[in-house]
Amino acid sequence: MIQQLRAPLPQQALAEAEALLDKAPHKALDQAEALLRRMPGFGPAELLAARALRRMGKGRQALAKLDALARGSGAVPVVLWELGQAAAEAGDTARSIAALQALVQAQPGVSGGWFLLARQLRKAGHAEDAWRADLSGVHASSRDAGLLKAAVAVQDGDLGAAEALLAERLARQPDDPPALRLQGELAWRQGEMTPAIDRVERAVALAPGFDLARDFLIRLLLQTNRLPQALEHAEVLQRSPVPVAGHKLILASVLVRLGQQERAAALYRELLADNPDQPQVWQNLGHVLKTLGRQAEAVEAYRAAVLRQPTMGEAWWSLANLKTVKLGADDIAAMDAALVSLAGTVEERKEDVFHLHFSLGKAHEDARAHEAAFVHYARGNALRRTMIRHDAAAFSGEVRAAVETFSAPFLAQMGEGGCLAPDPIFVVGLPRSGSTLVEQIMASHSLIEGTMELPEMMMIGARLQSRVDEGEFPDFATMIASLSPADRRRLGEEYIERTRVHRQTDRPLFIDKMPNNWQHVGLIHLILPNAKVVDARRHPLSCCFSGWKQHFARGQTFTYDLGDIGQYYRDYVGLMAAWDMQMPGHVHRVIYERMVADTEAEVRRLLDYIGVPFEESCLEFYNNDRAVRTASSEQVRRPIFRDGLEAWKPYESWLGPLRSALGPVLDSYPDAPAA
């Protein structure tokens, strides 16, 4: 029979029968049997008959033929492949595993055999062997010429060619995990997050041991703020029989996002115990320790990072950004030397360079060398401004659209609706406005939980705006007006549900301190009518200058130019004044300077607005050891101080562009201009 399988074949008859297998397997069987009548025992025809029987649902007959072929032909891959599939479909897991193990031993480069073997091993309860089989399948796929061609097209940005290649492959092999993962990456590069996640989830479902796909899926879930799902997959990844350090790193990043800082710190320490020469891990550990309020340990971690990589700009900035730390002459010399060493690589190392300039600005400011400080801040901001997109005029137009939309008559016309949950307290305003102080005061109350800057409302707002951008509605006002009471209730419930993961206590109220939510106060009112909104406001020169010299890890793209940040503050004041006019009493304003001057009176006013009784603990907010992730994390662990009220004054002669952009807002503070 071996000779018959390898002998010259009646190609035309076999090809005709092969073509009928999928659509008319009974006809393929007829042709195979006709061949066998002419050539009894002819192996290829026996195999074709078995394949037809399997597709007709006659698994037992197919298995009988395939067993006979396997005994007679030995380890012929095509026979083993069919036998493995037929046994799997018949529920004979042991026979399927035996055939597939023989197959992958004979042809280790065929990924499909490994993936099918993994599924059968998993059914038999051999989880680790199944995981390793999936990994072997992925390894085999890495040498597949068709997949390599598609991967190169994706990397080269030829997305149309990649899409065609993958579509053609998946039409032939719809359950091919590596092709699905690559198709997910293609969708991600095209900005299609939902299809990207769907395809990578399918790849992981088909091959649970596909670690690289699961890693990519976690990153996609993090990008879309699906934190519980990301944590679930990150926990699975830790159980891989082929562990790598990156698995712990991605789990730690998920834990940080979920506010589980202690567990993230433990993972970083485990990684450093295995290999202490990892500056990025030292820096990550420093971030967690800073959030936990363990400042001395954070300093040690950041210094360990720059010791191992002196040009690591972000680690220097993290050290400088600890408001309780002052960098000395040796640090300035080390950062100057780092800039010199990076001089020829500014384009490639922009991140390090601008971080070093911000750090040197802080170091010179601490030394009261204000001109040198301003020069470095200006250089850092100018470089960072080239790396981000912010259209101040377009943003002002969006603010005007919000003012025109959310008028009192419009709100009255919308009527009642939304989710009635009273849980959220939104703290809004500009960064560096004292919002972290306000949050810490409220979070020291027994009925209020502090969380972090939550992106959920921004995401809901962006999703609604996309309906305008994609042409579903002619303008923002029409889109908002289309929201029925039920729509608004669903959106409010979505916000409550998506933020639930950040709530670690049973306190009935919680704080969302995303400052940019001042843009969405009207939307908040429509979908969460019982939510509270607290506007934290600080003197425009103090607030804007502090924001300009603060590098933010993400977002806040308006802060890297004095004119941009001044215009942004002006837009903010204008829109908040409109909310006050159209929704009187809906927003409670905390003026930072008043909070500093008479803390108890302002705290009592704030708590009255929230609707909770006064508690002394709110005046002792600095004793609250909750994790704080913002730039003011160290400052709110001390009693209120007056040092920062006029920190801008030594730089006054250089702040002309800021003054011009602020215009009448500067003179009218703390009120809005009459116009």
pLDDT band at 3 (very low <50, low <70, confident <90, very high): very low
Per-residue pLDDT at 527: 97
Q: Which of 139, 71, 69, 128 is closest to 104 using CA atoms?
A: 139
Q: What is the pLDDT of residue 6?
A: 46
Alpha helices by DSSP H, listed for 190-323, are 193-206, 211-223, 227-237, 245-257, 261-274, 279-291, 295-308, 313-320
In this predicted structure, the answer to whether residue 411 has a pLDDT above a threshold of 50 is: yes
Find how far residue 432's CA is from the centre of its chain.
24
Helices 211-223 & 245-257, crossing angle to 10 degrees?
Answer: 20
Cα-Cα-Cα-Cα dihedral sign, residues 426, 430, 436, 442: negative
**CATH number for the domain formed by residue range(s) 415-668:** 3.40.50.300
Is residue 17 predicted with pLDDT exceeding 80? no
Over residues 640-646, mean pLDDT: 69
Beta pairing partners, 428: 535
Residue 626 φ then ψ, to 5°: -60, 155
Which one is predicted more confidently, 282 or 322?
A: 282
User: pLDDT digits over 22-47, tens only?
Assistant: 787 788 777 777 777 778 877 777 77
The pLDDT value given to residue 464: 94
Answer whether residue 628 shows pLDDT above 60: no
Q: How confident is the model at residue 675 (pLDDT cuts 50, 70, 90)?
A: low
Between CA 19 and CA 538 the distance in angstroms is 76
CA angle (660, 666, 671) in 5-degree steps: 150
Return the half-sphere exposure (C-beta side, CA atoms, 13 A cut-off) of residue 12: 0
Task: For residue 415, give Cα distances in angstroms to 55, 403, 409, 575.
Answer: 60, 18, 10, 22
pLDDT digits (tens, 9 = 90+) for 297-314: 999 999 999 999 999 999
Q: How far is CA 101 from CA 84, 97, 136, 139, 362, in A?
A: 9, 6, 12, 16, 63
pLDDT of residue 75: 66
Query: How do residues 336-386 score in pLDDT, each as one tens digit?
Result: 999 999 998 888 899 999 999 999 999 999 999 999 999 999 999 999 999
For the cut 70, the answer to whether the pLDDT of residue 233 exceeds it is yes
Residue 90: predicted pLDDT: 85
pLDDT at 529 over 70: yes
Taking only the tens place, the pLDDT of each residue in 367-377 is 999 999 999 99
DSSP string covering 143-182: T-HHHHHHHHHHHTT-HHHHHHHHHHHHHH-TT-HHHHHH
Percent of the chain scoring above 70 in pLDDT: 95
573 membership: H or E segment, kind and range: helix 562-582
Residues 6+ apart with CB under 8 A from 206: 115, 175, 177, 180
Alpha carbons 113 and 108: distance in angstroms, whole number: 8
What was the pLDDT predicted at 643?
Answer: 64
Interval 425-437 mean pLDDT: 94
Angstrom distance (rounded) from CA 11 to CA 49: 15
Could you tell me the pLDDT band of residue 116, with boundaries at 50, 70 and 90? very high
Reply yes or no on whether the pLDDT at 665 is more than 90. Answer: yes
% of residues, the chain, pLDDT over 90: 76
Residues 6+ apart with CB under 8 A from 44: 4, 5, 9, 14
Write out pLDDT tens, residues 534-553: 999 999 999 999 999 999 98
pLDDT at 612 over 60: yes
Position with higher pLDDT, 624 vs 187: 187
Distances from the Cα of 409 to the Cα of 173, 415, 430, 579, 582, angstroms: 58, 10, 28, 13, 9
Q: What interhelical angle do 350-366 and 370-385 show, nearest 10?
A: 160
pLDDT tens across 161-202, in order? 999 999 999 999 999 999 999 999 999 999 899 999 999 999
The tokens for 156 are 């080269």
The Cα 243–Cα 250 span in angstroms is 12
Report the pLDDT value the prediction gives residue 27, as an integer from 0 to 100. 81
Give dist(CA 251, CA 550) in Å, integer: 29
Q: What is the pLDDT of residue 496?
A: 97
- The structure's pTM equals 0.82
CA distance 539 to 669: 7
Task: Give the model's confidence band at 5: pLDDT under 50 very low, under 70 low, under 90 confident, else very high.
Answer: very low
Assess whether pLDDT exceeds 80 at residue 639.
no
Of residues 144 and 53, the one with the higher pLDDT is 144
Mean pLDDT for all residues in the chain: 90
> What pLDDT score does 60 carry?
80
Inter-residue contact 273 to 304 (CB < 8 Å): no
Question: What's the CA gap between 391 and 396, in Å, rounded?
Answer: 9
Given a contact cutoff of 8 angstroms between Cβ atoms, the answer to whether 599 and 616 are in contact is: no
Residue 634 reports pLDDT greater than 80 = no
Domain range annotation of the chain: 415-668
Dihedral angle over CA of 129, 135, 139, 142, nearest 10: 150
